[in-house]
């Protein structure tokens, strides 16, 4: 059996190594267009930022290892330029020699990845505008940042582009994962960074009110945000800098521009071969990673996968799923019944000492799908026991089905213990878990690590209280004209009050019930909805109609700020 694998990074490299382990005799050819296989593209921004100092650190494996240990015919600088599914052949172009050869296959695996989007804007090809996908990309950015006049080839003369002593200002186009990681790393190197983002929020996988916290965090660390604005073009100025011009008419000077608008599945080869593509523009595969041609499989960023939670087709360019898909493709080629269960979009971002993580569906997606059988809660627990030094507030948004408590998704932000809560919730979602399962979760507790009631437990307890009817829920964006009761203490209210809210501090509530209306629904507010929960229970237990405003003042600052913006 001869297997050709096109693309040698996460999905392709995993597939090649796994296939060799399953079949000692197969002929395996791994071709990679670029100079390296199996490199750490998730590390590129950190190499630009000098956090990962050596470029060689990014090279997780190499051609020689694939040859010596996996007996894989590994060819770099070799590009698959055409497929003939009928003849079961691939045309391979050797970029070193320019030679094109035709090779036959029994099975073909496509792992071409996704390419950074590079819109055809005026000036897009000017020097100083970079994308971040490959090791050479990172090298070029580093060279650009460290350039000295002599190192700049022909530049001064041919383009009128004067060399800089040192890049001082960067514009990052796009506020997604790569954009934010690049922003942090460029700031880390001392550059002033502006992010231009077409959407009115950074990090599209987050709901906007959660993204607002990330935006504040960026601003706090000196990153300037231009949200809701798109780049119109780039211009080269006489003083040797670039100017990024936006549709709203603004102009941002830049010594360096990073294009991180997103990625597009590399489907040209598949399309030309007549393989079926999906509505989202990726290669269509079944759960065995087989394309519409049963002898051609596809994996990684180029394929559409099923969203595990919603069942929708989606594009998830993440390394974890790519690796698993590569393994599954190898299994299937080796005759095994492995299936990809879909993806739940678990992801994490580190940003100036904070962590943002998420798993499952967000509320935007549920709304877009027209789903109404869901509820959400906002929580602000401590990262570990408050009595042990160093506890930080975690922000958690949990989405769950109203009808049965099934977990749909979670978003978390904070400085400590963020991703481990999302990991536990991701595992629960994978297992079809409910909020009741989180309620009963038994996780590691010692005061420096968590709390006897872990944030994950709260992420179950609070929704369960809602679903059992113990805590009817209110939300800031749907309060319209309700009776508002603020149970915080006067000094807290002096700092920030909710217009129109009546104040009765929680400890005084039972004695002052007569001041409250029995015929109106009372929406109860406190700082983070814990005291308001107690108050809601007191009110319900005394015959009042009451709801707890989820997340209290803490979520208000996310939601109301976003509405104003």
Q: Which stretch binds a second copy (CB under 8 A): 161-169, 258-266, 354-362, 550-558?
A: 354-362
404 lies in the binding site for a second copy (CB under 8 A): no
381 lies in the binding site for a second copy (CB under 8 A): no
525 lies in the binding site for a second copy (CB under 8 A): no
- Crossing angle of helices 552-564/208-220, nearest 10°? 90
For a second copy, the closer CB: 51 or 96:
51
157 lies in the binding site for a second copy (CB under 8 A): no
In this structure, the number of other CB atoms found within 10 A of the CB of residue 496 comes to 11
Question: Contact 41/90 with Cβ under 8 angstroms?
Answer: no
Phi, psi (rounded to 5 degrees) for 74: -95, 125
488 lies in the binding site for a second copy (CB under 8 A): no
Residues between 201 and 230 that touch a second copy (CB under 8 A): none
CA–CA separation, 225 vs 215, rounded Å?
A: 8
Number of residues that bind a second copy (CB under 8 A): 86
Tokens of 477: 């964006």
To the nearest whole angstrom, how small is the minimum distance from the Cβ of residue 545 to a second copy? 15
| Non-local CB neighbours of 10 within 8 Å, separated by 6+ positions | 38, 41, 111, 300, 319, 322, 323, 326
182 lies in the binding site for a second copy (CB under 8 A): no
366 lies in the binding site for a second copy (CB under 8 A): no
43 lies in the binding site for a second copy (CB under 8 A): yes
The one among 126, 204, 441, 482 contacting a second copy by CB under 8 A = 441
442 lies in the binding site for a second copy (CB under 8 A): yes
Question: Contact 374/423 with Cβ under 8 angstroms?
Answer: no
Question: Contact 345/415 with Cβ under 8 angstroms?
Answer: no
The one among 318, 482, 560, 561 contacting a second copy by CB under 8 A = 318
Residues between 333 and 352 that touch a second copy (CB under 8 A): 341, 343-350
Q: Which stretch binds a second copy (CB under 8 A): 246-254, 314-322, 362-370, 392-400?
A: 314-322
For a second copy, the closer CB: 58 or 83:
58
Q: Which stretch binds a second copy (CB under 8 A): 35-43, 158-166, 214-222, 373-381?
A: 35-43
CA–CA separation, 13 vs 322, rounded Å?
A: 10
Residues between 409 and 428 that touch a second copy (CB under 8 A): 419-420, 422-424, 426-428
490 lies in the binding site for a second copy (CB under 8 A): no
Phi, psi (rounded to 5 degrees) for 485: -115, 120
Residues between 269 and 308 that touch a second copy (CB under 8 A): 308
Phi, psi (rounded to 5 degrees) for 422: -70, -35
For a second copy, the closer CB: 137 or 454:
454
Residues between 232 and 261 that touch a second copy (CB under 8 A): none
321 lies in the binding site for a second copy (CB under 8 A): yes
561 lies in the binding site for a second copy (CB under 8 A): no
Residues between 161 and 180 that touch a second copy (CB under 8 A): none
Q: What is the 3-state secondary structure of 490-515?
A: HHHHHHCCCCCCEECCHHHCHHHHHH
The one among 88, 212, 284, 324 contacting a second copy by CB under 8 A = 324
189 lies in the binding site for a second copy (CB under 8 A): no
| Non-local CB neighbours of 413 within 8 Å, separated by 6+ positions | 210, 213, 214, 354, 355, 356, 357, 394, 395
The 169-173 sheet, strands edge to edge: 129-130, 256-259, 169-173, 192-197, 224-227
x/- map, 445-484, a second copy, by CB under 8 A: xxxxxx-xxx-xx------------x--------------
For a second copy, the closer CB: 42 or 232:
42
102 lies in the binding site for a second copy (CB under 8 A): no
For a second copy, the closer CB: 174 or 460:
460
CA–CA separation, 211 vs 274, rounded Å?
A: 40
58 lies in the binding site for a second copy (CB under 8 A): yes
Phi, psi (rounded to 5 degrees) for 271: -65, -45
440 lies in the binding site for a second copy (CB under 8 A): yes
The one among 97, 104, 143, 542 contacting a second copy by CB under 8 A = 542
CA–CA separation, 126 vs 18, rounded Å?
A: 42
Q: 367-380 as b/e, with b when 16 or more CB fall inside 10 Å?
A: eeeeeeebbbbbbb
To the nearest whole angstrom, how small is the minimum distance from the Cβ of residue 540 to a second copy? 8
50 lies in the binding site for a second copy (CB under 8 A): no
Tokens of 126: 């000017």
Longest CA pairwise span in the chain (Å): 89
- Measuring CA to CA, which residue among 85, 429, 81, 413 is closest to residue 268? 81
CA–CA separation, 306 vs 331, rounded Å?
A: 19
For a second copy, the closer CB: 270 or 461:
461
Which residues are known catalytic residues? Answer: 42
CA–CA separation, 242 vs 337, rounded Å?
A: 54
The one among 359, 528, 548, 550 contacting a second copy by CB under 8 A = 359
The one among 437, 488, 504, 548 contacting a second copy by CB under 8 A = 437
Question: Contact 270/307 with Cβ under 8 angstroms?
Answer: no
């Amino acid at each position: 059996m001869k297997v050709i694998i096109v693309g040698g990074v996460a999905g392709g490299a995993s597939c090649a190594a796994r296939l060799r382990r399953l079949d000692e005799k197969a002929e395996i050819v791994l071709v990679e267009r670029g100079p390296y296989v199996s490199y750490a593209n998730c590390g590129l921004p950190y190499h630009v930022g000098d956090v990962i100092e050596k470029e060689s650190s990014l090279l997780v494996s190499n051609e020689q290892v694939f040859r010596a240990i996996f007996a894989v015919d590994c060819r770099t600088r070799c590009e698959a330029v055409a497929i003939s599914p009928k003849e079961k052949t691939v045309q391979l172009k050797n970029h070193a020699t320019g030679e094109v050869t035709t090779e036959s296959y029994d099975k073909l695996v496509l792992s071409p990845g996704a390419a950074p989007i590079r819109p055809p804007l005026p000036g897009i090809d000017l020097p100083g505008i970079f994308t971040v996908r490959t090791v050479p990309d990172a090298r070029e950015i580093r060279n650009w940042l460290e350039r000295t006049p002599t190192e700049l080839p022909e530049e001064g003369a041919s383009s009128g582009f004067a060399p800089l002593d040192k890049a001082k200002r960067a514009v990052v186009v796009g506020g997604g994962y790569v954009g934010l990681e690049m922003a942090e790393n460029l700031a880390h190197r001392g550059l002033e960074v502006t992010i231009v983002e077409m959407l009115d929020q950074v990090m599209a996988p987050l709901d906007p009110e959660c993204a607002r916290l990330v935006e504040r965090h960026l601003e706090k660390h000196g990153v300037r945000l231009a949200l809701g604005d798109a780049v119109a073009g780039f211009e080269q100025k006489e003083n040797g800098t670039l100017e990024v011009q936006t549709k709203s008419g603004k102009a941002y000077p830049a010594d360096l521009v990073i294009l991180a608008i997103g990625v597009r599945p590399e489907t040209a080869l598949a399309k030309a071969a007549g393989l079926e593509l999906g509505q989202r523009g990726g290669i269509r595969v079944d759960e065995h990673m087989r394309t519409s041609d049963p002898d051609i499989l596809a994996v990684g960023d180029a394929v559409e996968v099923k969203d595990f939670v919603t069942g929708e087709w989606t594009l998830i360019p993440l390394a974890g799923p790519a690796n698993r898909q590569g393994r599954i493709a190898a299994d299937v080629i080796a005759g095994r019944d492995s299936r990809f269960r879909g993806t739940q979009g678990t992801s994490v971002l580190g940003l100036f000492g904070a962590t943002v993580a998420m798993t499952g569906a967000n509320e935007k997606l549920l709304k877009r799908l027209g789903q109404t059988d869901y509820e959400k809660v906002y929580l602000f627990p401590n990262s570990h026991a408050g009595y042990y030094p160093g506890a930080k507030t975690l922000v958690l948004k949990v989405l769950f089905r109203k009808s049965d408590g099934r977990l749909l998704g979670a978003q978390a932000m904070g400085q400590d213990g963020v991703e481990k809560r999302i990991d536990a919730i991701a595992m629960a979602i994978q297992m079809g878990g409910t909020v009741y399962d989180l309620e009963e979760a038994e996780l590691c507790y010692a005061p420096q690590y968590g709390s006897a009631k872990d944030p994950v437990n709260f992420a179950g307890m609070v929704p369960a209280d809602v679903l059992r009817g113990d805590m009817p829920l209110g939300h800031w964006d749907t309060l319209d004209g309700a009776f508002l009761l603020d149970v915080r203490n006067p000094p807290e209210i002096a700092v920030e009050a909710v217009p129109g809210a009546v104040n009765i501090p929680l400890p005084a509530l039972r004695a002052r019930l007569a001041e409250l209306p029995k015929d109106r629904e009372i929406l109860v507010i406190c700082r983070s909805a814990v005291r308001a929960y107690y108050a809601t229970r007191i009110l319900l237990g005394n015959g009042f109609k009451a709801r707890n405003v989820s997340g209290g003042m803490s979520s208000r600052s996310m939601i109301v700020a976003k509405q104003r913006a």
